[in-house]
Each structure stands twice: as C-alpha cells, then as structure tokens.
Amino acid sequence: MSHPHHHRHPVQFRSYYLAVLVIAATLIARALPHEVMPHPWFAAGAFLLLVMSELAPVAMPGGGYVSASTVFDLPCVLIIGPLWTALIDIAANVLVHGMVLRKPPVRVLHNSAIFTIGYFGAAWAFETAGGRIGTLIFPQDGLALLASGLVYFAVNSICVSTVIGLTAGPSPWRIWQRNFQQGLMHHLSFIALGALVAVVYVTAGPWGIALFGLPLLVARYSFKSHLELKSDLKDFVRALTEVLEEVDPYTRHHSVRVSEYSVRIARGMGRPEREVDDIEYAALVHDLGKIGPQHQHILQKPGSLSHEEQRTLRAHPAAGAEIVAKVRALRRAAEIVRSHHERPDGQGYPFGLRSADVPIGARILNVADAFDAMTSDRPYRRALPLDAALRELERGAGTQFDRDVVQCMLRMQRSGAFPLIPSPSSEDLQLLRLKTRVGG
C-alpha cells in the first residue's frame, strides 16, 4: 500500500509505525534459529512470482494499493513457513517498490513489516486450527485454510486502513469500509485462489501452479475493472458539475461545497461509506435540474417570485433526478436528489413527504444545501454570518430541517469538526459569469 507524506496524526503514526517494525523484526529474529532454508529453486520461483505480482498494483478508492501477491504468498506460508515467505517478500518489495517504482523507504519498510506480521499470523492460525506447515491434507485442513486466510486478510486490511487513516484520513474504520468492505468478495477471492494454489502444489507439484495463470489474470482484471468503474463514476459525476459551470458558475461552486458539507455530516452521523458515496454524488448534482434557461432569471431575481416562477423552481429536484437516474449506478443518488427539498413537517416539495418517508441522504443534503446558501453570497443578498446561519438551522429543526441532522452539524461545529468552506463573493461571481459568457 502507499500513503502521502503529510501526516494527519504524526504522534500516533510514529507510534504505530514503530510498533509494526518492532513486531515484524521480533517475529523474524525469534524464528531465524529454528527454520530450515527451502529448496533454492522453490525460493527463486516464489521470488519471481511475487515480483511479477507486485509490478502491477491496483489503486484502491480510499488510498493505497492492492496486488495479486496473496495468490502466491499465502501458499508459501503454508508450504515453507512464515519466516522464509517474509524474507522472500522483503526482497521482492525492496526490488519492486524500492528500486523499480521508487517508493520512499518508509513505505517499503512499512509494507514489508505488515506483510511479515500477516504471514506469521496466518501460520499461527493454520496451526492453531489443526494444520501443519509443510503438509496439506484436503479437505481435512479446510478449516485451517479458512482460518489462515481470514487472519491474513484481517491483519493486512487493518494495518493498511490504520496507516492511511493516520496519514491521509478519514478514520481507519472509514478507510476499511471504502477499501475492503465494499470489495470484500474480490479480496476474499484472491485468498481463496491462494489456498487453492497451495492444495494444487501439494497434490500436483509445482507444474500445477501454471494452471492458475489464466484464472489469476481474470481475477485481477475483474478487480481492477471494479475499482476503475468506481473511480470513473465519481469522475463522471464531477464532470456533470462542469455542465453547471456553463450555465451558472455560482451553482457549480455551491454544489461542490454542499458535497463537502454533506460528506462531513454523513460521517458525523455514522452512515456507512457506501451511503456516504451516494450522498456525495447526489450533492454534486443536486441542482442539475436548474440547467434550463428558465431557471436563470428566477435564481437571480431580487424580489419575490410569482406563483408560476415558484412552480418552475419546485420542479428542479424531479427534473434533476430524472437525469441522474439514467445512470444505473446513480439511482440511489437520484432518489436523494428528488427528495432533498422535502421537509419534516410535510411542507416541502415535490411530494410533501414527512421525515420518516425521506431518505436520510436527502435530509442531510437539505441541511447542507441550506447552510451553504445562507453562508455564501447570493445575487440578491450578502452571506449571513456563521452564527446567524446556525441559529436559523436550529430554529427550523423539526419543521424545515431534520432535527437529528441539525444537531449533528451543530455538535460538529462546536467541536471544530465543521469549518466553514470559503465561497466566492458576489463580485467574484459576476466576474465568473462574464468569463463564462465571453468563453461561450
């Protein structure tokens, strides 16, 4: 895995980093006098396979990367033990990540350390469940294989999530959800392939491993495609916000800020990361229904709106939802877009739903949308002071805004976890509009 140089929690990171290095070094030092060196050809073959696996890492959505090395290093643990697997893997890591990919030494050491801990943990689980390193009887050792794979996955995923959480954020639990929970079956499929490689090696010899070439490539391609589709989806949603720039620069800047506010609130309320993604997508395009020219006059009108103008404006959530719902992966986000102007008292639009019938994402978006609208300049008024905006939200809690969402936001703001995002002034927005028109 990889992580940025900037550390969000430097003291905790140093403590964690030192701990994994000490644990890994201790495990190796204790095992060295007791382990017999594997056959040189086996060690060379394992080294080559690990090098090939590490040369094509796949970036994960929450940071870091994953490779297909599990398919080969887990069998090595079961066949030659954790010590030599760790030493071979350290050599492969130094060559690939240290010398070829030029990763910083701190990352190479960290990766080697957590894999070492994972190998020893997998071996311990295998033997504790009744298996014996160097021999494999299937299906009798099926439970031991399962325990070994799960411990290996747990150690690796927890360590990767911890280091990314300490260096880049958000919390390690959020990183684990984003990187591992959402693609759990893909990760477990590599472990299952690794266990199968071990079984085939013991029963059919080293040539049997060649049978896994094509399945491994397919599994890796499937996992890579899964992660790329997630990344492409976010890029597509962000591209949609660029459409808003062509119509009204204010609307796009507003949507980007609302998405950041919405993600903060969703995480503050403990919503799962998959839901946070949907809320972020919805927030970025929640005003997409305003792209029609009929809305521009209404949005910039300084006085009160006529009945017809109000009806036109209230149609934008449904119009935006219809556009977003055309993308299958965004249909949950489309429901959030459709309902983000509903109110707890049933006086919202387009359907007049009450809180219990409104998706939690829409309730979060409603509060974030109103907060940004109040704290940023509009064509017809200046931004409200932060305290005044918070009082308005508190005053409307339970009627205009969801009470739990407002309370969560106020609690985060008091603790310093909800800083205000700077917004362009009215003068800046006028310049943006002029540039947009000239560019058109």
Give tens-digit pLDDT for 156-180.
999 999 999 998 878 898 988 888 8
Phi and psi dihedrals of 136, rounded to 5?
-145, 120
Nearest alpha carbon to residue 73 among 99, 93, 58, 95:
93
Count other C-beta atoms under 10 Å from residue 173's C-beta: 15
Of 240 and 362, the structure prediction assigns the larger pLDDT to 362
User: Tokens for 234?
Assistant: 């976010």
Q: Are 94 and 108 in contact (CB under 8 A)?
A: yes
Provide the β-strand partners of residue 354: 345
Average pLDDT, the chain: 84
Q: Are 124 and 151 in contact (CB under 8 A)?
A: yes
Report helix, strand or coil for 326: coil
Mean pLDDT of all residues in 135-142: 83
Mean pLDDT of all residues in 297-306: 60
pTM value surpassing 0.85 = no
Count other C-beta atoms under 10 Å from residue 316's C-beta: 24
Indicate whether 323 pLDDT > 50: yes
Pick the CATH number of 248-439 from 1.10.3210.10, 3.30.70.80, 3.40.50.180, 1.20.1250.20: 1.10.3210.10
CATH T-level topology, domain 10-229: Arp2/3 complex 21 kDa subunit ARPC3 (1.10.1760)
- Give the Cα separation of 15 and 12 in Å (integer): 5
Report helix, strand or coil for 59: strand
For the ranges 46-60, 129-143, 184-198, 269-283, the maximum mean pLDDT occurs at: 269-283
Residues of the chain with pLDDT > 70, as a percent, come to 87
Q: Is the peptide bond before 139 cis (omega within 30 degrees of 0)?
A: yes
Phi and psi dihedrals of 296, rounded to 5?
-65, -40
Q: Are 260 and 421 in contact (CB under 8 A)?
A: yes
Mean pLDDT of all residues in 221-230: 78
Report helix, strand or coil for 311: helix
Provide the β-strand partners of residue 381: 378
Domain segments of the chain as ranges: 10-229, 248-439
The pLDDT score that the predictor gives to residue 1 is 42
The pLDDT score that the predictor gives to residue 69 is 77
Phi-psi region of 314 (alpha: psi -120 to 50; beta: other; left: phi over 0): alpha
Of 43 and 292, the structure prediction assigns the larger pLDDT to 43
Nearest alpha carbon to residue 149 among 179, 121, 113, 128:
121
Residues 6 or more apart whose CB falls under 8 angstroms from that of 385 comprise none
The pLDDT score that the predictor gives to residue 4 is 42
Report helix, strand or coil for 351: coil
Residues 6 or more apart whose CB falls under 8 angstroms from that of 41 comprise none
Count other C-beta atoms under 10 Å from residue 401's C-beta: 24
